[in-house]
Amino acid sequence: MSYNHVTPDVVKTLESIVGKEYVSSDVAMRHSYLSRGIMGLEATIAEVIVRPRYVEEVRKILIIANENHIPVTPAAGGLSGGYAAPLIQPGGILLDLSRMDRIIEVNTEARYVVLEPGVRSGKVWAYFRKAM
């Protein structure tokens, strides 16, 4: 399947959704998210990094990508190059969900939590230490 590249117009639209400071085409920034060719796969790099904060922003980004036939690779953490590293579709948008870091719900009776994808384990531990 062939995909389109991220155009300057698409970048402007992405900036209007999340803010200019949360969209980057910078080569050094893109390389920091490089899929490192784990497990024998070729290393790949995204054309643009987008860092949304809210679900509504993610929805709008996915609509733009779909309308323009641009691949999207989500990543929330796991950027350490280990088994959880994202396998980036060559080119396209890397959707860095790390800003989505809210604890939505804690149900101690049923023993579950609802988290946004960017929540790190340290934040969860801190929440429970404070609650105890």
Identify the band that residue 81 occupies on the pLDDT scale cut at 50, 70 and 90. Answer: very low
Q: Which of 36-45, 73-82, 102-111: highest mean pLDDT?
A: 102-111
Least confident of 15-19, 46-50, 111-115, 124-128: 124-128
Residues 132 and 122 in one domain: yes
Whether residue 3 lies inside any domain: the answer is no
Residues 65 and 107 in one domain: no
| Distance between CA atoms of residues 102 and 34, nearest Å | 26
Asked if residue 35 has pLDDT above 90, the reply is: no
Asked if residue 31 has pLDDT above 60, the reply is: yes
Least confident of 33-47, 52-66, 83-97: 33-47
Tell me which residue range forms the domain holding 78.
8-99
Residues 107 and 90 in one domain: no
pLDDT the model gives residue 131: 78
| Distance between CA atoms of residues 44 and 113, nearest Å | 34
Averaged confidence pLDDT in the chain:
86
pTM for the structure as a whole:
0.82
Number of H helices, E strands in the chain: 4, 6
| Distance between CA atoms of residues 17 and 94, nearest Å | 15
Phi and psi, residue 48, nearest 5°: -150, 145
* 90 vs 63, higher pLDDT: 63
- Read off the pLDDT of residues 4-21 as tens digits, 9 standing for 90 and up: 999 999 999 999 999 999
Q: Could you tell me the two tokens for 34? A: 């490089």
Residues 44 and 106 in one domain: no
Residues 35 and 59 in one domain: yes
Residues 93 and 126 in one domain: no
Asked if residue 67 has pLDDT above 50, the reply is: yes
Residues 107 and 95 in one domain: no
